[in-house]
A and B are shown apart, each in its own frame.
Chain A
């Protein structure tokens, strides 16, 4: 992998930490400034946000039958 790819991976990791609220306050503030001043970085952050929304909104969530809660309660008592 060349240096450009390594840099891109690092940027992607930083974006993940930012979106996961895993940067400390100082790092977060610095990264926010970078996002505001770099349109490409801003676009990459938006793309990552969008990707996560696609995952969250489209993942199959099978519904439980309405009586399942009562079934559990009956098992407990």
Chain B
């Protein structure tokens, strides 16, 4: 591949790389849980990307390319810092499988509006509580809309693993959010169609007038 001029590099940097900065920052923040670390990771990603621009084909998938660089930088540096446990213990996880499969079924039974009562903090806490390998696929697929194939390339795992990991990650997330909703009193009464709010008062769903 031919070497790009500085002017061309700057054009690509401005036009194709920089527009992804917010998405990269969100991903970095939810990997590191630390604002400064996230910014360092984003900065490192852009520096590495700029230096490697000769190997990038303009007009292709800059976003996926940048996310892969960021993921590699995270593995190389930030996983070494033990701010929070980040590695999934798959032996422990095997015992979790039945529980999370049940979460999928519980979720099917929950009324949709229960999740409307969740606010950003609860959603963010639930996502951040996932083991990092599961959190990453949720962030890449459900937040950034990457395809299975792109995710497979970004985190270097087979497409089948992306699919199964996503399924499990979503079930874990549903279980956490459903638990939270129940704890706050947003119970699914189905026949009664009533929802208790966090202060214990009973309110009625929009469809309560049907009864």
Interface, chain A (partner B; CB < 8 A): 1, 5, 8-9, 12-13, 16-17, 20-22, 44, 46-47, 50-52, 54-56, 58-62, 64, 68-69, 71-72, 75-76
Contact = CB atoms under 8 A, between A and B. Distances in A.
A13 B105 CA distance: 12
Interface of B: 13, 18, 21-22, 25-26, 29-30, 35, 38-39, 42-43, 46-47, 50, 98, 101-102, 104-105, 107-108, 110, 112, 115-116, 118-124, 127, 138, 141-143, 147-148, 163, 166-167, 170-171, 173-174
A58 B98 contact: no
A16 B124 contact: no
A76 B51 CA distance: 9
B26 A61 contact: yes
A72 B47 contact: yes
A58 to B, nearest CB: 4
Q: Is the interface of B mostly helix, strand, loop or mixed?
A: helix
> Shortest 5 CB-CB distances between A and B: which pairs?
A58-B123, A60-B124, A58-B120, A61-B26, A12-B104
Nearest to A62: B29
Nearest to A54: B115
Contacts of B107: 12, 47, 51
Given A12-B108, A69-B21, A75-B43, A54 B119 contact: no
Contacts of A51: 107, 115, 170, 174
A7 to B, nearest CB: 10
A74 B152 CA distance: 33
A35 to B, nearest CB: 15
Contacts of A62: 25-26, 29, 35, 38
